[in-house]
């Protein structure tokens, strides 16, 4: 059985994007319309997460096909390969940046010009892609790890994805902390479907309850480096359901592809 037949990719089906867009309209009855974080008590939370503050993660990007991403360079977004349909010229994607509230008048919106999907991507592993933007976005970028030194510990994930398995997309950016899950434990959870050299797992094995979910695909998993700066270690990829006990989230291991990503960015 292929991975796509058994496990839910954490992107959003096209039909769900239309429903999500409707839910983001003013006055719509949806968990997506919880009040903006301003010191009050938040409403529905993203699979154990909380609202992110404006400017907390300036590198975060929302992509119009229903995925997340991060500014790799000011004119290039790093996302998941399964979020795009292939490589080549592509002007159909809109990147939204600079805000936690997708309805904010301050949102920066830039169209894509090209897409590069990871060479050799076949739905299993190698789940990374780059999107070239029509113009640079003047915001901080997210540095990617170049080795495995930061591939453990507690990680931060963020996105506009569902607050629960099967839920709708969100208006406000949310964040959560997920602990590293070692390779033997992840292999026990997913068997041969998990690719240790290319993927990294994170989540609370015993209880679940904290995880990325549908619509968070392509978004970064990151942590502080030794100097206290954010560094990206993962790309939200897949998992069995969302926040289930014993079923951690699976992320593209950025350290395994950092050189390939850098070389691809130079050619994009």
Annotated catalytic, 255? no
Q: CA 169, CA 216: separation in Å to the nearest integer? A: 9
- Active-site annotation holds for 82: yes
* 132: phi then psi, degrees, rounded to nearest 5: -85, 135
Catalytic position from the list 11, 112, 217, 255: 217
d(CA 225, CA 260): 21
Q: Which of 75, 112, 127, 211 is catalytic?
A: 127
Q: Give CA–CA dist 103/259, Å, rounded.
A: 36
Report which of 167, 155, 157, 166 is spatially closest to residue 44, judged by C-alpha positions: 167
* 151 has catalytic annotation: no
Q: Smallest Cα–Cα separation from 252: which of 169, 196, 173, 187?
A: 196
User: Which of these is catalytic: 82, 87, 151, 255?
Assistant: 82
Catalytic positions, written as ranges: 82, 127, 217
């Amino acid at each position: 059985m292929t991975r796509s037949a058994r496990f839910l990719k954490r992107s959003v089906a096209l039909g769900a994007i239309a429903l999500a867009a409707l839910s983001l309209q003013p006055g719509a009855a949806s968990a997506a319309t919880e009040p903006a974080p301003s010191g009050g008590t938040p409403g529905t939370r993203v699979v154990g997460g909380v609202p992110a503050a404006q400017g907390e993660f300036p590198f975060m990007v929302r992509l119009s096909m229903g995925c997340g991403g991060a500014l790799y360079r000011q004119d290039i977004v790093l996302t998941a390969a399964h979020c795009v349909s292939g490589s080549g010229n592509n002007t159909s994607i809109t990147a939204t940046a600079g805000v936690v509230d997708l309805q904010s008048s301050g949102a920066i919106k830039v169209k894509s010009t090209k897409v590069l999907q990871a060479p050799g991507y076949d739905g299993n592993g190698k789940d990374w892609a780059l999107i070239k933007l029509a113009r640079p976005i003047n915001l901080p970028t997210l540095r990617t790890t170049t080795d495995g030194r930061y591939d453990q510990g507690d990680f931060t994930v963020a996105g506009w994805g569902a607050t629960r398995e099967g839920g709708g997309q969100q208006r406000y950016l949310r964040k959560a902390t997920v602990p590293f899950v070692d390779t033997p434990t992840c292999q026990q959870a997913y068997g041969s479907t998990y690719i240790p050299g290319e993927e990294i797992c994170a989540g609370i094995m015993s209880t679940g309850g904290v995880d990325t979910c549908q619509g968070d695909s392509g978004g970064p998993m990151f942590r502080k480096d030794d100097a206290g700066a954010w560094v990206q270690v993962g790309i939200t990829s897949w998992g069995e359901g969302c926040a289930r006990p014993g079923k951690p989230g699976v992320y593209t291991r950025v350290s395994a592809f950092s050189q390939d990503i850098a070389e691809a960015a130079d050619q994009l």
